[in-house]
Chains A and B, each alone.
Chain A
Amino acid sequence: MRDPYEILGVAKTATADDIRKAYRKLAKKLHPDLNPGDKRAEEQFKEVAAANDLLSDPDKRRRFDAGEIDASGAEKAPPNARYYRDYAGESGHPYEGHGAYGDFAQGDDMFAELLRRAAEQARRRPGADLHYELQVEFLDAVNGATRTITLPGGGTLQVTIPSGVEDGQILRLRGKGAPSPGEGEPGDALVQIVVRPHRFFTREGDNILIDLPVTVKEAALGAEVRTPTTTGSVMLRIPKRSNTGDMLRLRGKGVKKRDGAGDELVKLKVMMPTEAEPELETFLANWTPASQYDPRKDL
C-alpha cells in the first residue's frame, strides 16, 4: 500500500485539521456514489478512506510514524459492502428520479423518439408488490374464511382465505399492491399465511390428526363416541378391544380441496380412570386372564 500521507496529499507534519480537510476534499471527489460510472472511484475511495483511518487516529498515526505498523494496518476500515449506485441503476424503486430528461424528449428526432419510448416504458411500469403477513386460526385455514387486514395507512385489505390453505402459503391479491409510480398497473399484495396451531387438531398434508381419549370400558367393549371434526362433531364407532395407538379413519373429514378431501385420522388413547375404582380393582385382583398376553414380549 502507498504512503498514506501521499494518498491524502499532505505533509508528514500536517495537523489533524489538515488531514480532515484533505480527506473531505478527496472523499467528495471520489465517493463511488458521486461517480456512478467510474469503476476506479471505488478503489481510490477505499485507499483514501484507509489512509484517513490511519492518520486521523492519533495513536495509529504515532505508531505508523514510529514504524510500528505499516500502512496496511489501517486497511481494516470497513468499506461499504455495496454502494447506493449498485442499486440505483435499476428501475421501479422508490427513489427513482423523474423528469430529468423531459426536455430532450420533445421534438421529432431519433433520440427524442427513443427517450420518449423509455419514458413511456417507465410510465407504464407497474407498482411494487407489497408483502403482508396474516395470522389465521387453524379451523379458518382448513375451512376457508374471509379476513380483513388493516393497513398501516389506515386502509383495509379484504383477504379471502381458500379452504385448505397451508402454513407459509402466499396469496397473491392482484392489483392490491403499491400504485404505479406512473400510469401502470398497481403491484400485487402478497399475503403470507401463518396458521396458528389448534388445541387438539394437527394437520398432515390433507389429513387432520387428532388424539381421542377413550375410557378403558369403551376400549374393551366397543362404543359410539362423539368425536370432533373440523366441521362439527360426529359419532365414531370404537371397535371392541381397541388399543392406545389404534388409528381410525373418518373418510372425507380431512381438508377439503377442489380435487377431493383428506381424511380425519383418529388415534385412540386409552385412559385409566383417575379416581379410585374399588370394584375395578377388586375385579382385576381376582382376574385370571384367559390368554398369556404379554404386551412386552417384543422388548
Chain B
Amino acid sequence: MITEREFLQRARLDRATLSIWIEEEWLIPGRTAHELAFTDMDLARANLIHDLKDKMGVNDEGLGVILHLIDQMHALRRALADTLNSARERRIPPAGG
C-alpha cells in the first residue's frame, strides 16, 4: 500500500490535481479508516495519465475517453485470453481449422 503523501511525491502530483483526478475517476484509490490508500497500479496509471497529457498533448476531455477505452481493451484482452485458454483445455481446434 502507498500512502497519499508518498503517492503525491512518486506520481509528481499536487494535492489539488490529485483530487480532480479522483473526482474524474481517472484514479480510484482504496481507502483505509483515515486516509487514501494507493497501489502500484494506481501509480502506473498516474504515469500513463502524465504521458498522455504531457508527451502526447491529450486534453482533459479526451483523457477520460482514452482511459475508458484502454480499460475496455484490457477487459477484451482478458476475455480473449480466457476464451483461448478454455478452447485449449477442451482441445477445440481453432475456428476455421
Contacts and interface: CB of A to CB of B under 8 A. Distances in A.
Given A31-B56, A33-B51, A95-B71, A151 B33 contact: yes
A94 B31 contact: no
Given A115-B83, A133-B33, A150-B33, A88 B74 contact: yes
A101 B72 CA distance: 9
A131 B37 contact: yes
A100 B55 CA distance: 28
A96 B75 contact: yes
Nearest to B49: A84
Given A128-B30, A150-B33, A87 B82 contact: no
A133 B68 contact: no
A27 B68 CA distance: 19
Contacts of B44: 80, 82-84, 86-87
B48 A33 contact: yes
B69 to A, nearest CB: 9
Contacts of B71: 88, 95-97
A83 B33 contact: no
A241 interface: no
B82 A114 contact: yes
Q: Interface on chain B toward A: helix, strand, loop, or mixed SS?
A: helix
Residue from A37, A117, A152, A153 whose CB has the most chain B CB atoms within 10 Å: A152
A117 B72 contact: no
A184 to B, nearest CB: 16
A84 B33 contact: no
A95 B39 CA distance: 12
Nearest to A128: B30
Contacts of B48: 33, 80, 83-84
B61 interface: no
Nearest to B55: A27
Chain B's interface size range is 35 or more
Contacts of A33: 48, 51, 70
A33 B47 CA distance: 10
A130 B30 contact: yes
B77 A36 contact: yes
B57 A24 contact: yes
A114 B86 contact: yes
A82 B40 CA distance: 9
Contacts of A131: 1, 30, 32, 37
Contacts of B30: 94, 128, 130-131, 178
A93 interface: yes
A34 B72 contact: no
B53 to A, nearest CB: 12
Contacts of A98: 75
A260 interface: no
Interface of A: 23-24, 27-28, 31, 33-34, 36-37, 49, 80, 82-89, 91, 93-98, 100-101, 110-111, 114-115, 117-119, 121, 128, 130-134, 149-153, 178
26 contacts: A24-B57, A36-B77, A49-B55, A80-B44, A80-B51, A82-B44, A84-B45, A87-B39, A87-B40, A88-B71, A88-B74, A89-B81, A94-B30, A95-B28, A98-B75, A100-B79, A111-B95, A114-B86, A114-B87, A117-B82, A117-B86, A118-B82, A133-B32, A133-B34, A150-B33, A151-B33
